[in-house]
């Protein structure tokens, strides 16, 4: 009987740790992490140190179902609240990705925050587990990431299947069991450990893109630890992440049309076509030409798998229209045999994408594949790609492509179902190409106490701190300052 009781107790502890809600046994097992001393020090990073930030490492369990087992260190940064008399608490943050390092994130966001906000919160940046300084995942991939186009035909798709299977094998071989613990739910648990270690009863939060999913998961798992939550450019938890990528295909195609019209009106400058149809036809012809013979850009060879992604990276922000037009002009010149040299940012982007240097984004795959099950049959993807081509000739083969997740070990936990009454402010642009507007609406629906701030007729992903807008900025700052959500959903327009 004692042995049965002990087993049941152990199961109860494990269940409490896994759900995030906790039991008395689970709380006791985690108390040593939540009560640890945090030693702040210089960050050893010029930008953070010059901004007056401090950094620290917080010890967390690798596997929360075994809190007495192996541990890892999670790196955090802090911009300390100068107004100690009116200090509100801590504000954690995440810049997106997944796989985005977050130690610097608050340096960029702080500029859009009202003084009454920055003076009252310790602004906490964090490299999530598996990223940057936090026990980074490194699968030594020969390319930068797993999200790219399936190409033009069946042979291209077969190559994609082989490559994605190889990426998954490399991660399993190099990272082993550690890989399974790099998940959003575990990052949410890490956030709660950080909260406890910093001596706070609750945490406020600002998340962008994937960071909105992390924030929603945290609020679902730790509702009583959630204070003021702002989610900018939101992910639909029910679609995350493969569904979100598929949803983005038509919106990237529409953004390409919008950009093509803008470029056609400036044909005297870019010479890419005098009509939208001509500009789009040129782009599609470049993809076909790169399939026949990869296009040399400096030291790089650009083919039909990755050329669409060089457009994708600039489409989320309409302010980059000229940048994108110049990029396409350069690719067209290179395809015609003219020697070209990419700008430094384009050269860095190509080096990362095509070679995985200086470091691949396998940490992104670890989170996406560890969070949710995806279909494993390559034919499922191929059918979706074929169906998408008529309406999405450029981005359909990307948005519907197979990924390494189809060959990954099954997730250790079920996908998080988000449905709660936690107050939150959700900010979403109607022409967002990454996390499309309907995703923000869906998150608003399942977080029933939230308010939705719509930025109407603007192509932008990640708004606050990136695109100045008095209406959006006021809503975010008012909530962080006073805790006052708008009385109803509001619509903002471009300044």
CA distance 181 to 129: 9
For the chain, the helix, strand and coil percentages under 3-state DSSP, each to the nearest 5: 50, 15, 40
Query: Which pLDDT score, from 0 to 100, does residue 28 have?
Result: 81
The two beta strands, 71-79 and 121-126, are: antiparallel
Q: What angle do CA 222, 68, 89 make, to 5 degrees?
A: 35
Query: Which DSSP string corresponds to 306-347?
Result: THHHHHHTTTTBGGGHHHHHHHHHHHHHHHTT------HHHH
Task: Quote the percentage of the chain above a pLDDT of 70.
Answer: 95
- How buried is residue 85: exposed, middle or buried, by Cβ count under 10 Å (0-12/13-18/19+)? exposed
Which H or E run includes 121? strand 121-126
**C-alpha–C-alpha distance, residues 296 and 357, integer Å:** 18
Q: Is-contact 133 127, C-beta < 8 A?
A: yes
Residue 456: the pLDDT is: 98
φ/ψ region of 271 (left if φ > 0, alpha if ψ in -120 to 50, else beta) reads left
Rounded to an integer, what distance in angstroms lies between the CA atom of residue 395 and that of residue 385? 10
Q: What confidence score (pLDDT) does residue 224 get? A: 98
Give the whole-angstrom CA distance, residue 225 versus residue 116: 23
Determine how many CB atoms are found less than 10 A away from the CB of residue 404. 28
Catalytically annotated residues: 209, 432, 461
Core vs surface per residue 132-144: b (16+ CB within 10 A) or e: bbbbbbebebebb
Two tokens, residue 340: 């070209």
Pairing outcome for strands 295-297 and 300-302: antiparallel
What does the DSSP 8-state code read for residue 203?
E
Q: What pLDDT was estimated at residue 378?
A: 98
CA 345-349-353 angle, to 5 degrees, is 175
Pairing assessment for the beta strands 226-232 and 203-208 based on DSSP bridges: parallel
Beta strands in 209-321 (DSSP E): 226-232, 295-297, 300-302
Which portions of the chain are predicted below pLDDT 50? 1-19, 21
pLDDT at site 25: 67
The position carrying tokens 């003084």 is 115
pLDDT at position 262 is 98
The two structure tokens encoding residue 133:
């300084």
Element (H, E) at 196: helix 184-197
* Dihedral of the alpha carbons of 257, 261, 266, 267, in degrees to the nearest 10: 70
Report H helices in 68-126: 105-109, 115-118
Asked whether the beta carbons of 418 and 220 are under 8 A apart, the reply is yes
For tokens 């939230």, what's the residue?
A: 450
Of the candidates 369, 382, 314, the residue with the CA atom closest to the CA atom of residue 157? 382
pTM: 0.94
Bridge partners (DSSP) of residue 207 are 94, 231
- Rg of the chain, C-alpha, whole Å: 23
The pLDDT value recorded for residue 13 is 33
**Cβ neighbours of residue 327 under 8 Å, at least 6 residues apart?**
310, 311, 314, 346
């Amino acid at each position: 009987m004692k042995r049965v009781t002990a087993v049941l107790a152990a199961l109860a502890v494990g269940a409490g740790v896994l759900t995030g809600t906790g039991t008395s046994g689970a709380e006791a097992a985690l108390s040593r992490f939540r009560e640890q001393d945090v030693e702040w020090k210089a960050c050893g990073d010029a930008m953070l140190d010059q901004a007056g930030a401090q950094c620290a490492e917080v010890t967390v369990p690798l596997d929360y179902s075994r809190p007495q087992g192996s541990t890892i260190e999670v790196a955090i940064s802090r911009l300390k609240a100068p107004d100690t008399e009116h200090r509100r608490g801590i504000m954690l943050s995440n810049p997106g990705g997944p796989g985005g390092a977050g130690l610097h994130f608050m340096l960029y966001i702080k500029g859009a925050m009202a003084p009454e906000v920055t003076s009252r919160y310790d602004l906490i940046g964090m490299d999530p587990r598996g990223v940057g300084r936090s026990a980074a995942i490194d699968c030594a991939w020969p390319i930068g990431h797993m999200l790219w186009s399936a190409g033009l035909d069946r042979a291209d798709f077969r190559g994609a299947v082989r490559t994605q299977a190889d990426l998954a094998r490399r991660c399993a071989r190099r990272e082993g069991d550690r890989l399974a613990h790099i998940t959003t739910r575990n990052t949410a648990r890490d956030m709660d450990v950080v909260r406890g270690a910093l001596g706070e009863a609750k945490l406020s939060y600002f998340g962008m893109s994937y960071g909105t999913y992390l924030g929603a998961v945290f609020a679902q798992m730790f509702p009583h630890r959630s204070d003021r939550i702002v989610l900018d450019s939101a992910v639909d938890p029910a679609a995350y992440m493969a569904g979100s990528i598929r949803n983005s295909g038509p919106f990237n195609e529409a953004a390409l049309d919008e950009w093509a019209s803008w470029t056609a009106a400036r044909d005297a400058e870019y010479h890419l076509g005098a009509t939208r149809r001509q500009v789009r036809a040129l782009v599609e012809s470049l993809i076909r030409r790169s399939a026949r013979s990869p296009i040399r850009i400096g030291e790089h060879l650009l083919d039909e798998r990755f050329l669409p992604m060089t457009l994708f990276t600039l489409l989320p922000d309409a302010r980059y229209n000229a940048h994108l037009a110049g990029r396409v002009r350069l690719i067209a010149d290179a395809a015609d045999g003219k020697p070209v040299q990419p700008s430094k940012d384009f050269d860095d982007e190509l080096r990362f994408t095509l070679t995985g240097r200086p470091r691949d984004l396998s940490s992104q795959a670890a989170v996406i594949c560890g969070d949710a099950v995806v279909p494993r049959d390559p034919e499922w993807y191929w059918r979706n790609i074929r169906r998408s081509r008529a309406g999405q000739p450029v981005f359909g083969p990307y948005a519907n492509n197979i990924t390494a997740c189809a060959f990954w070990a099954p997730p250790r936990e079920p996908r998080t179902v988000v449905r709660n009454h936690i107050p939150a402010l959700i900010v979403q642009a109607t022409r967002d190409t990454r996390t499309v507007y309907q995703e923000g609406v869906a998150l608003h629906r399942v977080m029933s106490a939230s308010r939705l701030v719509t930025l109407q007729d603007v192509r932008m992903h990640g708004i606050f701190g990136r695109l100045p807008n008095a209406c959006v900025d006021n809503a975010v700052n008012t909530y962080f300052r006073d805790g006052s959500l708008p009385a109803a959903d509001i619509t903002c327009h471009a300044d």
